[in-house]
Structures are given as C-alpha cells and as structure tokens.
Amino acid sequence: MVKSTRHAKYELYYHIVFVPKYRRSNLTGKTKERLEAIFAEICEDKDLELAESEVMPDHVHLFIGSPPKNAPSLIVNWVKGISARKYNQRYDDRVKWTRSYYVGTAGSASKGAVEQYIAEQEGSDE
C-alpha cells in the first residue's frame, strides 16, 4: 500500500537478515518469542511497519516498511542495537548480534513473494 509523508509518496520495504554472534542456534523457545515482541516494539516506537518476521534458530528474517527518511543501515542499526540492549536488560540469558547483515529492497511487486518466503521459513529447519 502506498503511504505518504508531507512531501513524498512511498512504498519501501526492506528484507533484513542477521545472525547471532558465533552463529549459535539458540534463538528458540522463549528467546524467540521475546525477540519477536521486542522487534514489534522497536518498529512501533520508530514508526516502522513490521510486515513479517521470523526468528529462526540461527538467524533472523525481518520484512520492514519504512519512510524514505530512514536509511536501510539506520533501520538495521536500530533493530539490532535496541533489540540486544532491551533483551539483555530484561532477561538473564544474553543475545549478541554479529556486525554483518543482509538488506534487500522490495517494491510492491515482490512484497508478497518476500512475505511468503519468510512465512515458509518456519518449518524448513525441522
């Protein structure tokens, strides 16, 4: 859906993938649920649209819509930095992210395809 600001109309979505430090497969159970809630909280606070998210045991997929004023690198920094800080303050176990990440853009034509891909990741590791 096309959105607008005072001076722009836009439909920007980013597919973001990042991994925990040392690629540990510990993003399961309560950790997974807590992270999903924190990602939703961050997107709400930063006025981003969390279109789809999937926390896999050893990596995270997020599909985020954003106004054009936010650079993709800024969005990734927000999501990774704030999520680690909030998680580590609230819970005894720790989450650390690597410095690397993947970000790809998706317009309206491929938005559905990316959402479907992320949704299908749920059962692919089992």
User: Is residue 47 one of the residues assigned to a domain?
Assistant: yes
Q: pLDDT class for 88, splitting at 50, 70, 90?
A: very high
Residues 6+ apart with CB under 8 A from 75: 14, 16, 46, 48, 64, 66, 103
Q: What pLDDT was estimated at residue 60?
A: 96
Computed on alpha carbons and rounded to an integer, the radius of gyration of the chain in Å comes to: 14
Q: What is the pLDDT of residues 8-56, one digit of tens each?
A: 888 899 999 999 998 888 899 999 999 999 999 999 999 999 999 999 9
- Span 106-120, average pLDDT: 71
User: Is residue 12 one of the residues assigned to a domain?
Assistant: yes
User: Is residue 5 one of the residues assigned to a domain?
Assistant: yes
Count of structural domains within the chain: 1
Q: Which structural domain, as residue segments, surrounds residue 111?
A: 1-115
User: Is residue 86 one of the residues assigned to a domain?
Assistant: yes
Q: What pLDDT was estimated at residue 42?
A: 97
Q: What pLDDT was estimated at residue 73?
A: 96
Q: What pLDDT was estimated at residue 1?
A: 75
The 3-class SS string of the chain reads CCEECCCCEECCEEEEEECEHHHCCCCCHHHHHHHHHHHHHHHHHCCCEEEEEEECCCCEEEEEECCCCCCHHHHHHHHHHHHHHHHHHHCCCCCCECCCCEEEEECHHHHHHHHHHHHHHHHCCC
User: Is residue 125 one of the residues assigned to a domain?
Assistant: no
CA distance 71 to 69: 6
Q: pLDDT class for 101, splitting at 50, 70, 90?
A: very high
CATH of the domain at 7: 3.30.70.1290
Q: What pLDDT was estimated at residue 109?
A: 54
User: Is residue 124 one of the residues assigned to a domain?
Assistant: no
User: Is residue 45 one of the residues assigned to a domain?
Assistant: yes
